[in-house]
Amino acid sequence: MSPAARSPALAAKIAAMRLKICPIVSVICGQASEHFPGTMLEFWLLTEAQLDSMAHFYSQSTPDEFTNLYPRPMKWDKDFLSMETPRALSSREKRYRLNMQDRMAIKRRKFAKFVGMRGCETPAWEVRAHIRAVESRILRIVEEEERILKRKRC
Protein backbone atom coordinates (compact mmCIF):
# COMPACT_ATOMS: atom_id res chain seq x y z
CA MET A 1 0.00 0.00 0.00
CA SER A 2 1.44 3.40 -1.00
CA PRO A 3 1.94 6.17 1.58
CA ALA A 4 -0.71 8.28 -0.19
CA ALA A 5 -3.22 5.45 0.10
CA ARG A 6 -2.42 4.96 3.80
CA SER A 7 -2.79 8.64 4.65
CA PRO A 8 -4.55 10.72 1.99
CA ALA A 9 -4.63 13.76 4.31
CA LEU A 10 -0.86 13.66 4.75
CA ALA A 11 -0.33 13.19 1.02
CA ALA A 12 -2.55 16.22 0.33
CA LYS A 13 -0.64 18.33 2.87
CA ILE A 14 2.73 17.33 1.36
CA ALA A 15 1.43 18.20 -2.11
CA ALA A 16 0.25 21.60 -0.82
CA MET A 17 3.64 22.29 0.78
CA ARG A 18 5.34 21.59 -2.57
CA LEU A 19 3.32 24.29 -4.36
CA LYS A 20 5.60 26.86 -5.93
CA ILE A 21 5.27 30.58 -5.18
CA CYS A 22 5.96 33.00 -8.01
CA PRO A 23 8.44 35.60 -6.79
CA ILE A 24 7.53 39.28 -6.58
CA VAL A 25 10.27 41.52 -7.92
CA SER A 26 11.22 44.87 -6.44
CA VAL A 27 10.01 47.91 -8.35
CA ILE A 28 13.38 49.48 -7.54
CA CYS A 29 15.89 46.83 -8.66
CA GLY A 30 13.79 44.28 -10.58
CA GLN A 31 15.00 41.40 -8.38
CA ALA A 32 13.24 39.22 -5.83
CA SER A 33 14.32 39.38 -2.20
CA GLU A 34 17.00 36.87 -1.25
CA HIS A 35 14.57 35.57 1.41
CA PHE A 36 11.61 35.13 -0.94
CA PRO A 37 10.16 31.63 -0.40
CA GLY A 38 10.10 29.33 -3.42
CA THR A 39 7.47 26.94 -2.03
CA MET A 40 4.66 26.94 0.51
CA LEU A 41 6.88 24.96 2.89
CA GLU A 42 9.54 27.69 2.71
CA PHE A 43 6.80 30.29 3.30
CA TRP A 44 5.73 28.57 6.53
CA LEU A 45 9.38 28.35 7.65
CA LEU A 46 10.12 32.07 7.25
CA THR A 47 11.58 33.70 10.34
CA GLU A 48 10.48 37.03 11.73
CA ALA A 49 13.80 38.57 10.66
CA GLN A 50 13.23 37.34 7.09
CA LEU A 51 9.68 38.76 7.02
CA ASP A 52 10.97 42.09 8.34
CA SER A 53 13.77 42.06 5.77
CA MET A 54 11.34 41.44 2.91
CA ALA A 55 8.96 44.17 4.15
CA HIS A 56 11.93 46.55 4.03
CA PHE A 57 13.18 45.22 0.66
CA TYR A 58 9.77 45.82 -0.95
CA SER A 59 9.47 49.34 0.59
CA GLN A 60 6.64 48.24 2.89
CA SER A 61 7.99 48.82 6.40
CA THR A 62 9.17 52.37 5.75
CA PRO A 63 6.72 53.97 3.30
CA ASP A 64 8.24 55.84 0.40
CA GLU A 65 7.32 56.66 -3.20
CA PHE A 66 7.53 52.96 -4.14
CA THR A 67 5.31 51.49 -1.39
CA ASN A 68 2.01 51.75 -3.27
CA LEU A 69 3.38 50.65 -6.64
CA TYR A 70 2.76 47.02 -5.67
CA PRO A 71 -0.69 45.50 -6.35
CA ARG A 72 -1.32 44.61 -2.66
CA PRO A 73 0.72 46.81 -0.27
CA MET A 74 1.34 45.24 3.13
CA LYS A 75 0.32 48.32 5.19
CA TRP A 76 3.09 47.42 7.63
CA ASP A 77 2.64 49.32 10.92
CA LYS A 78 6.17 49.35 12.29
CA ASP A 79 5.13 50.49 15.79
CA PHE A 80 2.39 47.89 16.13
CA LEU A 81 4.55 45.06 14.75
CA SER A 82 7.69 45.98 16.64
CA MET A 83 9.47 43.34 18.74
CA GLU A 84 10.95 45.98 21.02
CA THR A 85 9.14 47.55 23.92
CA PRO A 86 10.49 51.08 24.29
CA ARG A 87 10.82 52.34 27.86
CA ALA A 88 8.72 55.38 26.96
CA LEU A 89 5.60 53.22 26.65
CA SER A 90 3.06 53.43 29.43
CA SER A 91 2.18 50.27 31.35
CA ARG A 92 -1.15 50.31 29.46
CA GLU A 93 0.70 50.33 26.12
CA LYS A 94 3.09 47.58 27.20
CA ARG A 95 0.09 45.45 28.13
CA TYR A 96 -1.20 45.72 24.55
CA ARG A 97 2.07 44.73 22.85
CA LEU A 98 1.76 41.66 20.64
CA ASN A 99 3.27 38.37 21.72
CA MET A 100 5.65 36.62 19.33
CA GLN A 101 3.06 34.18 17.91
CA ASP A 102 0.54 36.93 17.16
CA ARG A 103 3.20 39.18 15.64
CA MET A 104 4.42 36.35 13.40
CA ALA A 105 0.85 35.47 12.36
CA ILE A 106 0.19 39.08 11.36
CA LYS A 107 3.47 39.48 9.48
CA ARG A 108 3.00 36.16 7.67
CA ARG A 109 -0.59 37.06 6.72
CA LYS A 110 0.45 40.48 5.43
CA PHE A 111 3.23 38.94 3.34
CA ALA A 112 0.89 36.24 1.99
CA LYS A 113 -1.62 38.90 0.96
CA PHE A 114 1.21 40.92 -0.62
CA VAL A 115 2.18 37.99 -2.87
CA GLY A 116 -1.44 37.30 -3.82
CA MET A 117 -2.40 34.30 -1.71
CA ARG A 118 -6.09 33.79 -1.03
CA GLY A 119 -7.68 33.63 2.41
CA CYS A 120 -5.61 36.45 3.89
CA GLU A 121 -8.43 38.59 5.25
CA THR A 122 -7.65 40.46 8.43
CA PRO A 123 -9.10 38.53 11.40
CA ALA A 124 -11.25 40.33 13.98
CA TRP A 125 -8.75 39.68 16.82
CA GLU A 126 -6.05 41.54 14.86
CA VAL A 127 -8.32 44.54 14.26
CA ARG A 128 -9.21 44.65 17.97
CA ALA A 129 -5.53 44.42 18.97
CA HIS A 130 -4.62 47.23 16.60
CA ILE A 131 -7.45 49.43 17.90
CA ARG A 132 -6.38 48.82 21.51
CA ALA A 133 -2.78 49.71 20.67
CA VAL A 134 -3.80 52.92 18.88
CA GLU A 135 -6.19 53.93 21.68
CA SER A 136 -3.43 53.34 24.20
CA ARG A 137 -0.96 55.43 22.17
CA ILE A 138 -3.51 58.27 21.87
CA LEU A 139 -4.22 58.21 25.62
CA ARG A 140 -0.49 58.46 26.37
CA ILE A 141 -0.13 61.46 24.05
CA VAL A 142 -3.16 63.18 25.62
CA GLU A 143 -1.78 62.55 29.12
CA GLU A 144 1.61 63.99 28.10
CA GLU A 145 -0.07 67.07 26.61
CA GLU A 146 -2.09 67.56 29.81
CA ARG A 147 1.09 67.33 31.92
CA ILE A 148 2.80 69.92 29.70
CA LEU A 149 -0.18 72.27 29.96
CA LYS A 150 -0.24 71.87 33.75
CA ARG A 151 3.46 72.75 33.97
CA LYS A 152 2.95 75.83 31.79
CA ARG A 153 0.10 77.05 34.02
CA CYS A 154 2.17 76.77 37.19
Over residues 50-101, the pLDDT tens digits come to 999 999 999 999 889 999 999 999 999 888 888 765 556 666 666 667 889 9
pLDDT band at residue 48 under the 50/70/90 scheme:
very high
CA dihedral defined by 7, 9, 10, 14, rounded to 10 degrees?
140
Angle between helices 100-114 and 48-57 (to 10 degrees): 40
Closest to 121 in 3D by CA, of 136, 105, 135: 105
